[in-house]
Homo-oligomer: A and B are copies of this chain.
Amino acid sequence: MGKNIVVGQSGGPTAVINSSVAGVYAQAKKLGIDKVYGMVHGIEGFLDDKICDLDDYLASPTGVEMLKRTPSAFLGSCRFKMPKIEGHEDVYEKVFEIMEKHDIDYLFYCGGNDSMDTVKMLSDYAAAHGKSQRFVGVPKTVDNDLPITDHCPGYASAAKYIATSMKEIIRDNSSFGVKKPTVVIVEIMGRNAGWLTAAAALSKTADCEGPDAIYLPEKVFDIDKFVDKVKELAKTKSSIVIAVSEGVKLADGRYVCEVGREVAVDAFGHKQMSGTAAKLADTVAAETGLKTRAIEFSTLQRAATHIASLTDINEAFEVGCAAVKAADAGQTAMMITLDRNGDEPYQCGTSAHDIHDIANVERKVPDEWITEDGSNISDAFIKYARPLIMGELTPLYVDGLPAHLVRK
């Protein structure tokens, strides 16, 4: 008697979220699982019984390799939060009803904090109601802010894109040998955690001096001190490039991007973070007379599969495999973690960890990795992050562009 399973994707996409789906599929087929279903648009679509059969896309000899090279959520994503169980038992019963309809035994969910909460709620409901289905979370977030796991699949590819682009921006900005420098301020994602912004430091290599300053949301941001820092740098430098998190906040709790303007709020009450670099560039121009330029990596940083890290792709695949193995070994209410076993050479394995320790916990950049004045990060971060961005997977180029796998 064959088993069936389902895998879903949730939250903001990453460059490697599809590699985890590929891993789930490959491992399931190895274990003789019958049907591997994909939720179309996550648990929200699943509640409407929207599923697809992954054999339709991945059974071909090129399917898995093309999926690894495809950015964004192949299955479609959602931003649906499961309601609290009490008073909403009907929603939970609906999930189990659809699982039973398709003889689905295990459910895998790729995502970040909110998605791990979905795994927790579903497994809690199953435990309380004597259901035998198993639920395992597959970590995914460019923000790298899940606890317990050494790092999160998706982070390293965004970091590689950021560091590559920073090198290119620094080269571009330093091509003019002018006396008065142009000040480039680059805004990087990460509302509360500075992992992505810190990745700008990886651009400091034998052939690049790296950014002149890096500001993470973990530290209070002071606009006057920032302008002073630029003035100080401008005394000696013919190019200034600075990385700032979109989430930097003043001492009074306001985001920098909120200063002097209204900020839109989305359906979930999250403020739309954008315009931090533009705000700071305007302020620097006004206070110093220097030419400034604001650059936002925006969604490019989470979608640039064309320069994804092979280490990240492989690890995303591995956590997908590990999730299927864990469920098949009888585990439920778990998230797969990446466990670093060595630095030189870098070695990393996987294990399964109780989802209750993970859901809704946010991990930030450790204070000791940020310099005293809050304008840079330490070598300990480089040692942590460098191995994660190693390696590349050559895209398949068609018509001169990286080709992607498309869901019909």
CB distance B168 to A303 under 8 Å?
yes
Closest to A403 in B: B207
CB distance A285 to B264 under 8 Å?
yes
CB distance B175 to A72 under 8 Å?
yes
Measured CA separation A39–B309 after assembly (Å): 37
Contacts of A171 in B (CB 8 A): 13, 70-72, 303, 404
CB distance A300 to B307 under 8 Å?
no
A47 to chain B, nearest CB (A): 12
CB distance B70 to A205 under 8 Å?
no
CB distance A295 to B295 under 8 Å?
no
A233 at the interface (CB under 8 A from B): no
CB distance B177 to A41 under 8 Å?
yes
Q: Can you tell how many copies of this chain the complex includes?
A: 2
CB distance A177 to B307 under 8 Å?
no
A163 at the interface (CB under 8 A from B): yes
Contact among B13, B278, B299 for A295, CB-based, below 8 A: B299
A394 at the interface (CB under 8 A from B): yes
A392 at the interface (CB under 8 A from B): yes
Residues of A within 8 A of B (CB): 9, 13, 40-41, 44-45, 70-73, 76-79, 160, 163-165, 167-169, 171-177, 184, 202-203, 205-208, 264, 266, 272, 274-275, 278, 285, 291, 293-296, 298-300, 302-307, 309, 386, 389-392, 394, 397-406
CB distance A406 to B303 under 8 Å?
no
Contacts of A71 in B (CB 8 A): 168, 171-172
Closest to A292 in B: B264
Measured CA separation A163–B168 after assembly (Å): 18
Contacts of A206 in B (CB 8 A): 398-399, 403
CB distance A392 to B397 under 8 Å?
yes
Contact among B78, B169, B389, B404 for A176, CB-based, below 8 A: B78
Tell whether A167 pairs with B401 under 8 Å between CB atoms, given A266-B291, A295-B298, A306-B307.
Answer: yes
Closest to A391 in B: B400
Contacts of A296 in B (CB 8 A): 295-296
CB distance B207 to A404 under 8 Å?
yes
A390 to chain B, nearest CB (A): 5
CB distance B73 to A168 under 8 Å?
no
Measured CA separation A45–B176 after assembly (Å): 10
Measured CA separation A164–B172 after assembly (Å): 20
A382 to chain B, nearest CB (A): 10
Measured CA separation A109–B295 after assembly (Å): 30
CB distance A303 to B169 under 8 Å?
yes
- 11 pairs, CB–CB < 8 Å, chain A vs chain B: A13-B172, A45-B177, A71-B171, A72-B172, A76-B177, A168-B300, A184-B299, A264-B285, A295-B299, A307-B307, A392-B397
Contact among B77, B293, B305, B390 for A400, CB-based, below 8 A: B390
Measured CA separation A299–B389 after assembly (Å): 23
Contacts of A404 in B (CB 8 A): 167, 171, 207-208
A242 to chain B, nearest CB (A): 14
Contacts of A72 in B (CB 8 A): 168, 171-172, 174-175
Contacts of A295 in B (CB 8 A): 296, 298-300
CB distance B299 to A205 under 8 Å?
no
Contacts of A302 in B (CB 8 A): 172
